[in-house]
A and B are shown apart, each in its own frame.
Chain A
Amino acid sequence: MADEAKSFSQQLLGFWVTFATMFKKVNTVQYPEVKEPTAERFHGRHQLNRYDDGLEKCIGCELCAWACPADAIYVEGADNTEEQRFSPGERFGQVYQINYLRCIFCGLCIEACPTRALTMTNEYELADDDRAKLIFEKEDLLAPLRQGMIAPPHPMYPDSSHLNYYKGEITGSDPSQEPGGSK
C-alpha cells in the first residue's frame, strides 16, 4: 500500500516538471529563419586575409598544410613577378584549397600561419549536397575587398618593400597601384 502511494506521488512530481516547463523561456531557435550569433571565437569557415591595399597575405609556405592533422589543406606556391604580383615579397599561394569534408576545425593551421593570412570566420553553414563543392578554392576563401583595396595582381605600395607590409606600415592603397596606374 505504502509503495503504491509513493509511486503515485512520484508520478505527480513528474507531471509537475512537465507542467512547470511550459512557463519557462524556450531554448529552441527557429533556424534557419532565426540565426543566433555564435560565440566570439567560434571556429568557422577559414578566410585568407589581405593587406589594406588589397595584396594577399598568403605566401604559399604550406605551413598550414603541414600543421593540419586531417590533411585537409592543399597549397602550391609560386613566384611573384614584377608584372603579376599577388603578395608582397617573392612568393604567393597560387593554389589554395581546403577540403571541408576533412577539416575538423581545430585551428592548428591558424596557429601555424606566419603572416596571419589564414584566420577563421564565424560562418558555420557549410553543408552541401555535392562533395566536390565542399573543397573550397582560393577565390572562395579570400576575404572580400574592402573600401580602398585594389584587386591583385598589382604592384606594392610606392617606395615600399615587403618589410613595410610585414611591419603593418601599409594602411591603404595608392592610385598608382591601380591596373594601368603610373609607376
Chain B
Amino acid sequence: MTPEQAVVSVETVSAIIDGLEVTVPKGTLIIRAAEQLGIAIPRFCDHPLLAPAGACRQCLVDVEINGRAFPKPQASCTMPVENNMVVKTQNTSPVAAKAQEGIMEFLLINHPLDCPVCDKGGECPLQNQAMSAGRSETRFEGEKRTFEKPINISSQVLLDRERCVLCARCTRFSEEIAGDPFITLNERGALQQVGIYENQPFESYYSGNTVQICPVGALTGASYRFRARPFDLVSVNSACEHCASGCDLRTDIRRGKTLRRLAGDDPAVNQEWNCDKGRWAFKYLTTRERVKSPLVRGSDGELHEASWPEALAAAAAGLKGKRVGVLTGGRLTHEDAYGYSKFARVALGTNDIDFRARPHSDEERDFLAAVVTDLKTSYLDIDKADHVVLLSFEPEEESPIVFLRVYRQVRKRGLLVTSDAPIASRGSQKLNATLVKSALDISGLTSQSVILVGERAAEVEGALSAALELAQSSGAKLAWIPRRAGERGALAAGALGNLLPGNRPVADSAARVDLQSAWGVNSLPTTPGRSTAEILSALNDESLDAVVIGGVDPMDISVDALNQLLNTFVVSLEISHSAVTAIADVVLPVAAVIEKSGSYLDWRGSARRFDKGLEDAELRSDVRILSMLADEMGAPINLPTVSATAREIESLGSWDGAKPTMNKRAYVAPAVEEMTLVSWRFLLDLGTLQLGEANLAGTAKEARAHISSATAATLGVTEADLVVISSDLGSIELPVSIREIADNLVWVPRNSAGSQVIPSLGFASGAVKVAKR
C-alpha cells in the first residue's frame, strides 16, 4: 500500500464476499476487497495504478445489496464495496462462473492461436485465465478475424492487433501516467484496435511500460521478440544505473546474457513503472570491446596484455610517491566510490579527487558539502507539495521517474509547477509549468513547497545560492537531483575535494581525527582538494604527475580534457575500450553493473542494493582492484570485497559534528550576448550507456535548434530550414524549430545526433553565432 493510500479517509464499509466478511476503506473496489481475502477474480483491464475502465468484463460477479440482487452479474473492477453488500464470485456462484466462462469464450473467438510464437507465452494472463476460468474446449468453428501483423507503433514497440483483448491498459497508462496520449482505440466492434495517430508516432519515454502491463501478447518489445521463454530466464533484482531516480528493476538473464529488464515494484519510488532508457539500454556492455585483461604500455609505446601482478606493479610504480589526482566519474556504485575516496586519502595522500565529470563550479562544491549532504526530501514530499519549483532541471529528460511523480499530482489536483527553463520543453508543457527567468523571480512558496535543483545549476554563478536562499526564506524543501546514478553515492563516499567519507569536512580537524582512528592511519591530507577542472589543468602544467581515472568520458568535461591527459601517467579502471584507455599507461579491467554487487544512492540519498547477476563473471569491482593496488603500493586500504566495503561504510556512519557553511554567491545573470546558446540533454541521446540499442535510439527526439520567430525573421529562415551555430572552435548544423523563446537565445540538445555541443562548440552554454545555411 502506498503512503498516500494509507492517509485516505478512515471511513470503512463492510461486506460479505463468498461468505467471508471484509471491512475496507470506503471506495475500495470489490476486486481489491476480494484480493484482501485471498480470492482471485480473473481480470485483464484492471490495474491498481490505473483508473477503473470495466473494459474487458472478465471480472463479473454476482452482487446483492440490502437483500436485492442485481439482475445480471456486475464488473467487480468498477463497483465499490458498500455496506450490506453480498458478493458471490465464481467460487460460490454458478451464474458468475458461467458469465466469466462466456466472456472468456468471446475473448478467445478472435484471439489467434499464436501461443507457440508469442513472447507472452508462459507468462500470459490470458493463457493462465483461459485455463482457470474458461471452457475446456472451443465451440467456435468460423474464421477468426485477422490483421496484418506485427506493426511497429514505434521502433521499439510492436503491435499484433489480433491478439488484443481491448483492455485499454496501454492507452490508459499513456494518458494517465505518462501524459503521452499517442495511442488510442480506433474503430468499433470487431475491428476495434489500438492505433497511433497518423502524424505522431508512439514516441513516449515510458512506452516500455505498456509492453509490461499488456495482459496478452499484443504489445511486444522489438529487442526481446523471440529471444526466450520465461522458463529460460533467471531473474535477479537490480538497480538502474542510468539516472538518480533510483528505480527498482528486474533483470532477466539467459545463459550469461541479459535479455530484458523490467520495472520492479517499489511503491515509494517508481511504483511499477520505469523509463525506456532503464528498460532497454543495456547492450552498451556487449557493444564496445570489453577490456578483459590488464594492459600495460610497453617501451614501444603500445598497450600489451599483462598479468595482474605485472599491471599492479606498473601502476604502483607510476603512482607511488607522486602527486596524483583521481577522477571517478558519476557512474560508480556507493562502495566503489568509497574505494576511490579511501585510496586517494590513504594510498595517494591527497584530497585531489572529484566525481564531477561535467560542467561544475566551486560554488557547487560548497553547496554539495554544506547543503546536499543533509537533504531529506523524498518522493512523498512531491506527492504532498503545494508548489514544485524546477531550477536548472528538466525532470522528464534528466530524472524521468521524478517527472512521473510530479505529473501525477499535476493531473490529480492541478499541482502548481514553476520552472526556470528558458524554453517550455514538452515535459514543462505537460506539467503546465509557469516559466520564470530565475529563482529570484519566484515567490509565494510555503513549507509545503518543494524545490528541485538539477546539476546544470552549477553552470550559472549564484544559481545554487539563489536556490538555497529561496528554500531558507520560505521554509520550502530542497532537493538536488543529479543526472547520473552514482553522484549522490560518490558525494556520501567523499569523492570530492572538500569532503571525506560520511560527510566529514576536510577542513575540520576533529572530523579528520575521527576518520584517522576509524581507518587506523597516522595522518590524512589536510589541504582541500582540487576540482575536476583544476586537476586537469594541474596535470597539464605538471603540478600533478599522474591520474587515476574511473569511468569518465573526457568529452563530458571539456573539449580539452583528453589533451590535458596526454603527457601524464594515466591509470584507467574501465569496463570497455574508450578514449581514456587508448592513452592510458596502465588499464585495469573492472566489472560492469550486472557482474558485481553494490548499491546506488538515489537523489534522496537512499540506497538500492543489488546482487551480482552473472554468477561466473570473472572481473571484480573497482574497490577490489583499488585495494590490491593499495597493497602493492604498501599503503593498504583493506577493502577486499564489496560487502566488506559496505560494512565499513555502515560502521563509519555519518559525521554529526559541525557542518561547513555555504558561502553564498550573488546571482549573476548570464551575460546578454547577441546570441546565446542554451542546452540540456535529452533522455535518449548519444550517451555511452545507450550504445548498441538501435530500436531505442529510433524513438529519440530529433535534434532541432529552437529559436524565436523574431530571430527566425532576422535570419530569414522558416521552420525546418537549416542554420549553422558556430563558436571559435567549430559549428553544428541543425534544422530550425520556431518556438517561444527569448530573441537572443538558441536552444539545442546537448548530446544528440547532429548536435554534440561540447565536442563541436567547446562549451555547453555561451555566446555563439547563428546564421542561415
Contact = CB atoms under 8 A, between A and B. Distances in A.
Given A62-B232, A66-B231, A89 B226 contact: no
Interface in A73-90: 76-79, 89-90
Nearest to B232: A62
Most A Cβ at <10 Å: residue of B121, B227, B229: B229
Contacts of A78: 226
A90 B160 CA distance: 12
B225 interface: yes
A110 interface: no
B226 A77 contact: yes
B229 A79 contact: no
A91 B117 contact: yes
Contacts of B226: 60, 77-79, 90-91
A135 interface: no
A62 B225 contact: no
Contacts of A62: 229, 232
Contact of B116 (A63, A65, A76, A79): A63
Say which size band chain B's interface belongs to.
10 to 19
Interface string A73-115: 0001111000000000111000000000000000000000011
A68 B231 CA distance: 12
Nearest to A163: B146
A89 B227 CA distance: 16
Interface in B145-197: 150
Contact of A61 (B117, B150, B225, B232): B117
Contacts of A79: 225-226
A90 B117 contact: yes
A140 B225 CA distance: 26
A156 interface: no
Pick from B150, B226, B231, B232 the residue with the most CB of A within 10 Å: B226
Contacts of B117: 59, 61, 77, 89-91
A93 B121 CA distance: 16
A66 B229 contact: yes
Interface string B49-71: 00000000000000000000000
Given A61-B116, A114-B116, A77 B227 contact: yes
A61 B119 CA distance: 9
Interface string B101-143: 0000000000000001100011000000000000000000000
Nearest to A166: B113
Contacts of B150: 90
Contacts of B231: 66
B227 to A, nearest CB: 7
Interface residues of A, number: 16
A91 B114 CA distance: 11
Contacts of A77: 117, 226-228
A78 B224 CA distance: 10
Contacts of B229: 62, 65-66
A79 B152 CA distance: 15
Interface in B399-428: none
A78 B223 CA distance: 11
Interface in A39-81: 59-63, 65-66, 76-79
A118 to B, nearest CB: 12
Nearest to A77: B226
Interface string B214-231: 000000000001111101
A90 B231 CA distance: 22
A110 to B, nearest CB: 15
Contacts of A114: 116
Contacts of A76: 227-228
Contacts of A63: 116
A61 B225 CA distance: 12
A90 B225 CA distance: 10
Nearest to A113: B116
Interface centre among B117, B121, B225 (most CB of A within 10 A): B117
A59 B119 CA distance: 13
Interface string A145-176: 00000000000000000000000000000000
Nearest to A90: B117
B300 to A, nearest CB: 41
A75 to B, nearest CB: 9
B113 to A, nearest CB: 8
Interface in B18-64: none
Contacts of A91: 117, 226
B233 to A, nearest CB: 12
Nearest to B118: A61
Contacts of A115: 116
Nearest to B121: A61
A63 B231 CA distance: 11
A77 B121 CA distance: 13
Contacts of A61: 116-117, 121
Contacts of A59: 116-117
A169 B646 CA distance: 65
Nearest to A114: B116
Interface string B467-493: 000000000000000000000000000
Contacts of A90: 117, 150, 226
Nearest to B150: A90
Interface string B228-246: 1101100000000000000
B632 to A, nearest CB: 41
B610 to A, nearest CB: 27
Nearest to A62: B229
A61 B150 CA distance: 17
Interface in A10-63: 59-63
A66 B116 CA distance: 11
A63 B150 CA distance: 22
21 contacts: A61-B116, A61-B117, A61-B121, A62-B229, A62-B232, A63-B116, A65-B232, A66-B122, A76-B227, A76-B228, A77-B117, A77-B226, A78-B226, A79-B225, A79-B226, A89-B117, A90-B117, A90-B150, A90-B226, A91-B117, A115-B116
The 10 A-B pairs of least Cβ separation, nearest first, read: A61-B116, A77-B226, A114-B116, A91-B117, A62-B229, A91-B226, A59-B117, A79-B226, A78-B226, A61-B117
Interface of B: 116-117, 121-122, 150, 225-229, 231-232
Interface of A: 59-63, 65-66, 76-79, 89-91, 114-115
Given A61-B121, A89-B117, 5 more contacts: A59-B116, A65-B229, A66-B229, A77-B227, A115-B116
